[in-house]
Structure 1
Amino acid sequence: MSISTLSFNTSTRVSLQRLQSQVNEATQELNSGRHLDIGKTLGRLTGSAVSARAQENSFKEQQISNGLVETRLQNIDASLATISEGAESLGNNLIGVSVATNLDTLVNQAKSGLQTLTGALNATGSGQYLFGGDNSDIAPVTTTATAVTARDTAIRTNFADFVLAATNGTNVVADISADAMTQYLGAGYVEAGPPSVTHKFSDNFQATNWTQASSGTIASRISKTETITSSLSANNSAFSDIAQAYSMLASLDIGTLNTDARKAVTDKATSLLKGGGDQITTLRADVGMKLKRIDGANAELQRQQDIMAATVSSLEEVDITEVSLRVNALSTQLQAAYSVTGKIQGLSILDYI
């Protein structure tokens, strides 16, 4: 075997590089807490680790998605609360008060309530309209001046046609009887023919007349096996009932009605506000149940995520104590190697001989 200064230096350099590489790899494992080369370390178990990590990430992503659904439902509940409070307030004011004395106040409150209802139904969350049904890209109730004027004009025109029919041609609002007004605000006032025509206030509030919402709803998956509806539709009868109550007080010029006919209006408005409010209470209870289902789904998702995390940990994570000892041992060897290398580099072939 030939001996030379070059062979000495080459041998020691290779040893140093190998030790330095081992120190670097062990240090990376110590810092990350994971095996540096998962495939090399785990071999055939690598697939199990990859699958467990993918499932863990899937559970995390589902919980993030559930958080968005939860926020949407909370915003829906807040809007429902606003609508309910407005309806209850006006309903209470209609009971046991003199409508004649408080007429202006009640009419203004009805107009304000209609605006509040519209604003609540046009509420958004994450860029989507919460009450648009599955048509969440368009505001359920158009609020442009043109649209508002058109709706009010339609209501007044519908009422004017009824007045003409219910007063035997006198066309005097004060001549409308309480019975005729009750029919108009309820099942409809049938004008004697021919032709026979039914005048009905609620025709103004058919879904296509006052909202652009879809009656469908958005389904959101909250787990692998569960879905919930995470939107509402402005077409729900609760909202149209309350809108009718506000509108009949705000648009029918009830100050020109006789006392009995005016009472028929306020009684119907009170009934609609109460009925709409009760329906909203039911809707809010349903939202509350959905929020509880999300809580339950998240708890189960977290449990499954913890299991997958433990599986990944058992497969991929290193023993920190063992790796730390290995780093220290390799570092000691490296320092010793550097020391020996320094001495060797001071030798020549003559020293060896």
Structure 2
Amino acid sequence: MRTSLISTATLHNSPRSNLAEMQKRLSDATKEVSTGRHADVGLKLGDRTGRNVALRRDLGNLEAMITSNSLAKARISQTHTVLGSMGETMDAIQQNLTTYPDTNQTIRLLETQSKEGMQALIRTMNSTDGRVYLFGGINSSQPPMADYDGAPRTAVDNALIAKFGLSIPPQNDSAGLAAITPADMQDFIDNEFDALFQDPDWGTTWSSASDEAITSRISPDETVRTSITANTDATRRLAKALTMLGEFNMNALDPDTRKVVYENAITTLNSGLTETISERANLGHFEKRINVADERMHAAIDIVETRINAFETVDPVDAKVEVDQLTTQIEMSYSLTTQIMRLSIMKYA
């Protein structure tokens, strides 16, 4: 016959043997009730964890693209707005041109209006969304267009002086300006003056913008242009028309020569406005494509989230039942421990 000895310490510690494990299970179950997910997804899924990680990565990429698209849409919307405001300024100048101003007062008014229009054009091209310059293209860290009173004015003055032998500043040489014939003015506009708004002069005198616009990836398999640069034909033509109207001192020109300037300015301004309208239409098309891409990605997110939930989610009812059961077991364990602690072999001596 063999006798087994059971000490009071053994009886005292026995109910605690599984207590730590139950407390860990209770903590996990409580977490599952509050989050609706397995407490340790990797442990639960085992060799399926890689598939779940891949789904999480896909979900993150889709959500990041939607966030990026919201920034692109904000940039497009602001670009559309500032172009619209600038267009209204140009429309007013265009209206005043239809009557060919021929009095000192109306000519001066148009000249002032054109100079203000040039400033509006430069302000528009130098618009920023607080992070980048909207019309800088991929070179979006600095203002795209130079102040007219700097290099552009110098280039225009030098061209007038070189072509017609005018004094400095050429706008004040009334006699020299009055002597310019219509044919000579047309030749100047077509050649020396036009060259100021073409490359390479445009890039060295007027604009530091990149020819390459910002392109954004709007979905996993689609990219779209999401900006306009200050180097478009629209900007160059508007700048050219406004310079003619604001800097040639129309009052000093022969009436026939002045008419040549007006006709060229009208044609150039109309072309620039048409190009601007076209660019705004393109922006609307790009924004629509982004919206369509967002709709597709939201649908894809719903599918991915459904698949993730199939891996990660727990039945809330089962989780709550487990919490209740574990709580009861732990309470019973504490109760039993208390009762055992009251036992003493001395009571049975």
TM over 0.5, shorter chain: yes
d(CA) in 1 for partners of 2:292 and 2:303?
17
Alignment of 1:211-290 (within 5 A): 211-290=207-286
Question: Given that residues 164 and 171 in structure 1 are in contact (C-alpha distance below 8 angstroms), is that contact kept between their aligned partners in structure 2?
Answer: no
Cross-structure match for 1:111: 115
Question: Given that residues 88 and 274 in structure 1 are in contact (C-alpha distance below 8 angstroms), is that contact kept between their aligned partners in structure 2?
Answer: no
d(CA) in 2 for partners of 1:175 and 1:49?
82
SS in 2 for 1:135: coil
Cross-structure match for 1:159: 160
1:111 counterpart letter in structure 2? K
Aligned-residue Cα RMSD (Å) equals: 2.1
SS in 2 for 1:222: strand
d(CA) in 1 for partners of 2:206 and 2:18?
84
Moved more, 172-181 or 207-216: 172-181
d(CA) in 1 for partners of 2:347 and 2:328?
28
Q: CA deviation at 1:52?
A: 0.9
2:92 counterpart letter in structure 1? S
Cross-structure match for 1:50: 53
Question: Given that residues 83 and 120 in structure 1 are in contact (C-alpha distance below 8 angstroms), is that contact kept between their aligned partners in structure 2?
Answer: yes
Cross-structure match for 2:170: none
Q: Count matched residues.
A: 334
Cross-structure match for 1:132: 136
Cross-structure match for 1:72: 75
d(CA) in 2 for partners of 1:276 and 1:316?
58
d(CA) in 1 for partners of 2:77 and 2:107?
36
Q: CA deviation at 1:322?
A: 0.8
Q: CA deviation at 1:350?
A: 4.2
Cross-structure match for 2:310: 314
d(CA) in 2 for partners of 1:352 and 1:274?
113
Cross-structure match for 1:348: 344
SS in 2 for 1:128: coil
For structure 1, the 5+ residue unaligned runs are 189-199
d(CA) in 2 for partners of 1:154 and 1:38?
69
d(CA) in 2 for partners of 1:30 and 1:81?
54
Cross-structure match for 1:191: none
2:85 counterpart letter in structure 1? T
1:24 counterpart letter in structure 2? S
Q: CA deviation at 1:109?
A: 0.8
Find 1:14's aligned residue among 5, 17, 22: 17
Q: CA deviation at 1:183?
A: 3.3
Question: Given that residues 125 and 230 in structure 2 are in contact (C-alpha distance below 8 angstroms), is that contact kept between their aligned partners in structure 1?
Answer: yes
Cross-structure match for 1:194: none
d(CA) in 2 for partners of 1:270 and 1:253?
17
d(CA) in 2 for partners of 1:76 and 1:120?
9
SS in 2 for 1:148: coil
Identity of aligned residues (%): 31
d(CA) in 1 for partners of 2:19 and 2:132?
62
Question: C-alpha deviations, 1:251-305, integer Å up to 9, x for none?
Answer: 1111101222112212221221111000011111111111011111111111111
Is 2:95 aligned against 1:92?
yes
Cross-structure match for 1:193: none
Moved more, 104-113 or 175-184: 175-184
Classify 1:21/1:161 alpha carbon distance in 2 versus 1 (closer, same or farther; 3 Å): closer
SS in 1 for 2:149: helix
d(CA) in 2 for partners of 1:212 and 1:330?
70
Compute the TM-score of the two structures, normalised by the length of structure 1.
Answer: 0.88
Compute the TM-score of the two structures, normalised by the length of structure 2.
Answer: 0.89
